[in-house]
């Protein structure tokens, strides 16, 4: 049995986890919107056409923030197409995903859906085929109370109260050659700063995110960040990061180690931000918005292989295995361990597309993928103070990595509730790992619950009516003489839920 230990102290706090770390993303892509959240005529649909069984699954996840409407989609989007009477909305070719966009769902419908599921709307503006003016028009439509052209148009469309959208993304993945209106860092930096300034003149309360690199393997990373910050540092609130992990070497040990690149990515971007801060002798520390993160590799590029110009084609419906859930869990733990800098994160995506929540085509039942569970656990138990853990773990080497710790872990302390939640992945494929953690600094404690997602087959997946990958309660963990000991099964995601201050 592998043995690892972690040492924690309530005085060594990294940061309070912002609720926005458990945000997500719904794009006009595949069956995310149509035949996903929106399904008029479905028995579970409300009057607006939104499926309440899907909405319930989202509510259960307690998603605080939803990024919308893209993604690559936004870089060719005319927001005006999606407002006003539905019978007058144009059907457009969406060239990002080579699909047809009916525009039956647009800003007002989606904002209503967000309210209904308890999420704040994070809007992306099109800086691909459009620019400053369209962004300002959209902001005027959303946030001004009335008495101007676009705010009155919103009222005429039946939405009296402004949407008061606080979070805005200045374009999407503008460093990517696949992006409509792809730009150099210089071009984007200039456009981002001018858009930011114009938007702030319209509404000084907005929080603006500039597009960082689409992934750390981009040839322009991290010079992209440096150049964009040279232009926009003083005018933005967040810099974005995107990353999808995948099993590209067909080697499970290597795949499981991939979250180490996420850790390095965040640290590097934070360093570039700090360099930009130092250069301008600024008091402002740039915060990060990791507004697309997930595992995605099996369905990459699928839009190129299907019949084009279908409405809501079933694309990017990645099936998530047990191994994917472990990698996903490692990524989530990494985000928690950077909660001092990463203040927003959006799981990409939420329904049907790269999603924890699935619906069967044509209005079939809702089911949950393996990745649903680590996300749920993080969202339910991860909102507290992340502690700086000192971890000692056995390590392994893989094809692309050396010294990979078998144990990936984060600890979140809830002082008010007297609870400590330890999130832990055992990367070992065929060995259990015993985790020891002294609790003396907390006055002892008891193990209230050990939740675990694991299974004998790393490639097992869930399906409709077949949710074999779901967490179970594990017994055997103890707190004795003030020390927690729990065994993490091979290739597993775990939550150790401790009640502090009492030992039995
Ligand atoms: O989430 C799917 C796509 O991944 C998004 O549209 C894009 O921003 C990223 O490349």
Question: Which residue intervals of 382-500 are DSSP H helices?
Answer: none
Q: In this predicted structure, what is the pLDDT of residue 363?
A: 87
Q: Which of 367, 383, 399 is the last residue of a domain?
A: 383
6 and 30 share a domain?
Answer: no
The label of the residue with tokens 């893989």 reads 398
475 and 378 share a domain?
Answer: no
363 and 486 share a domain?
Answer: no
363 and 395 share a domain?
Answer: no
The token pair at 397 is 């080497």
Residue 274 has a CB neighbour count (10 Å cut-off) of 13
82 and 185 share a domain?
Answer: yes
Cα→Cα distances 98→33, 94, 129, 305, 310, Å: 16, 5, 16, 10, 8
Q: Is 47 assigned a catalytic role? A: no
- With a 6 A CB cut-off, is 348 part of the ligand 1 pocket? yes
Q: Please state the atom number of ligand 1 nearest to the C-alpha of residue 25.
A: 1
57 and 174 share a domain?
Answer: yes
The token pair at 377 is 């656990």
Q: In this predicted structure, what is the pLDDT of residue 461?
A: 98
The label of the residue with tokens 């963990």 reads 477
Cα angle 86, 90, 96 (rounded to 5 degrees) comes to 120
104 and 140 share a domain?
Answer: yes
Distance (Å, whole) CA 380 – CA 344: 16
231 and 371 share a domain?
Answer: yes
The token pair at 464 is 């409709």
Nearest CA to ligand 1 atom 2: 71
- Among the listed residues 109, 173, 317, 318, the single catalytic one is 173
Q: Among 71, 209, 301, 318, which residue has the most ligand 1 atoms within 8 Å of its CB, making it the best to mutate?
A: 71
Query: CA-based Rg of the chain, rounded to a whole angstrom?
Result: 23
pLDDT in tens, the chain (504 residues): 999 999 999 999 999 999 999 999 999 999 999 999 999 999 999 999 999 999 999 999 999 999 999 999 999 999 999 999 999 999 999 999 999 999 999 999 999 999 999 999 999 999 999 999 999 999 999 999 999 999 999 999 999 999 999 999 999 999 999 999 999 999 999 999 999 999 999 999 999 999 999 999 999 999 999 999 999 999 999 999 999 999 999 999 999 999 999 999 999 999 999 999 999 999 999 999 999 999 999 999 999 999 999 999 999 999 999 999 999 999 999 999 999 999 999 999 999 999 999 999 988 899 999 999 999 999 999 999 999 999 999 999 999 999 999 999 999 999 999 999 999 999 999 999 999 999 999 999 999 999 999 999 999 999 999 999 999 999 999 999 999 999 999 999 999 999 998 654
275 and 312 share a domain?
Answer: yes
Q: What is the CATH number of the domain that holds 23?
A: 3.20.20.80
71 and 197 share a domain?
Answer: yes
Distance (Å, whole) CA 139 – CA 162: 10
Q: Is 173 assigned a catalytic role? A: yes
Distance (Å, whole) CA 352 – CA 31: 6
Q: Which of 342, 362, 383 is the last residue of a domain?
A: 383
Q: What is the DSSP string of 334-380?
A: HHHTTTTTEEEEEEE-SBSSS-SEEE-TTT--EEE-TTHHHHHHHHH
Q: Do residues 94 and 101 touch, judged by C-beta distance below 8 A?
A: yes
370 and 407 share a domain?
Answer: no
Q: Is the pTM of this model over 0.95?
A: yes
263 and 116 share a domain?
Answer: yes
Number of domains the chain contains: 2
Q: Among 27, 94, 290, which residue has the most ligand 1 atoms within 8 Å of its CB, making it the best to mutate?
A: 27
Distance (Å, whole) CA 160 – CA 156: 8
Q: Which helix (H) or strand (E) holds 245?
A: strand 238-245
Distance (Å, whole) CA 111 – CA 165: 9
Q: What is the CATH number of the domain that holds 490?
A: 2.60.40.1180
CA of 364 from ligand 1 middle (Å) equals: 25
Q: Which of 340, 365, 383 is the last residue of a domain?
A: 383
In sequence order, the 6+-apart residues with CB closer than 8 A to the CB of 446 are 479, 498, 499, 502, 503, 504
The label of the residue with tokens 């393997």 reads 217
Nearest CA to ligand 1 atom 3: 71
Which residue segment(s) compose the domain that 190 sits in? 18-383
């Amino acid at each position: 049995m592998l043995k690892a230990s972690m040492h924690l102290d309530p005085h060594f706090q990294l940061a309070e986890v912002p609720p926005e770390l458990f945000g997500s993303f719904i794009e006009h892509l595949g069956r995310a919107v149509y035949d996903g959240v929106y399904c008029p005529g479905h028995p579970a649909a409300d009057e607006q056409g939104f499926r309440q069984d899907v909405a319930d699954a989202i509510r259960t996840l307690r998603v605080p923030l939803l990024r919308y409407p893209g993604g690559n989609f936004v870089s060719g989007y005319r927001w005006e197409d999606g407002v006003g009477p539905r019978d007058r909305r144009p059907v457009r070719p969406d060239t990002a995903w080579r699909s047809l966009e009916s525009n039956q769902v647009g800003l007002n419908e989606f904002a209503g859906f967000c309210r209904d599921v308890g999420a704040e709307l994070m809007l992306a503006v099109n800086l691909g085929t459009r620019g400053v003016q369209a962004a300002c028009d959209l902001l005027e439509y959303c946030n001004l109370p009335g008495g101007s052209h676009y705010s009155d148009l919103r009222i005429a469309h039946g939405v009296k109260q402004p949407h008061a959208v606080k979070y805005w993304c200045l374009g999407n993945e503008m460093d990517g050659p696949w992006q409509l209106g792809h730009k150099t860092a210089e071009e984007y930096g200039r456009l981002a700063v001018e858009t930011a300034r114009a938007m702030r003149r319209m509404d000084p309360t907005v929080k603006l995110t500039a597009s960082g690199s689409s992934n750390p393997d981009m040839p322009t990373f991290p010079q992209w960040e440096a150049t964009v910050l040279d232009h926009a540092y003083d005018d933005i609130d967040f810099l974005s990061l995107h990353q999808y992990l995948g099993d590209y070497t067909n080697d499970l040990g290597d795949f499981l180690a991939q979250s180490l690149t996420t850790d390095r990515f965040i640290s590097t971007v934070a360093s570039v931000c700090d360099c930009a801060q130092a250069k301008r002798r600024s008091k402002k520390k740039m915060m990060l918005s990791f507004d697309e993160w997930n595992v995605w590799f099996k369905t990459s590029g699928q839009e190129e292989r299907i019949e084009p110009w279908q409405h809501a084609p079933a694309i990017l419906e990645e099936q998530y295995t047990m191994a994917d859930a472990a990698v996903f869990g490692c990524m989530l733990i990494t985000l928690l361990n950077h909660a001092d800098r990463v203040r927003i994160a959006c799981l990409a995506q939420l329904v049907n597309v790269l999603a924890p929540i699935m619906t069967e085509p044509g209005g079939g039942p809702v089911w949950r993928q393996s990745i649903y569970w680590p996300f749920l656990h993080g969202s339910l138990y991860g909102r507290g103070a992340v502690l700086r853990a000192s971890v000692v773990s056995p390590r392994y080497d893989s094809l692309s990595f050396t010294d990979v710790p078998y144990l990936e872990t984060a600890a979140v302390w809830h002082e008010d509730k007297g609870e400590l939640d330890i999130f832990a992945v055992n990367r070992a494929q065929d060995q259990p790992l015993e985790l020891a953690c002294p609790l003396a600094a907390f006055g002892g404690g008891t193990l209230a619950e050990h939740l675990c997602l694991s299974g004998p087959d790393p490639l097992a997946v869930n399906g409709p009516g077949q949710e074999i990958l779901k967490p179970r309660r594990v017994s055997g963990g103890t707190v004795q003489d003030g020390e927690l000991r729990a065994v993490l099964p091979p290739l597993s995601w775990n939550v150790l839920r401790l009640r502090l201050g009492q030992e039995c």
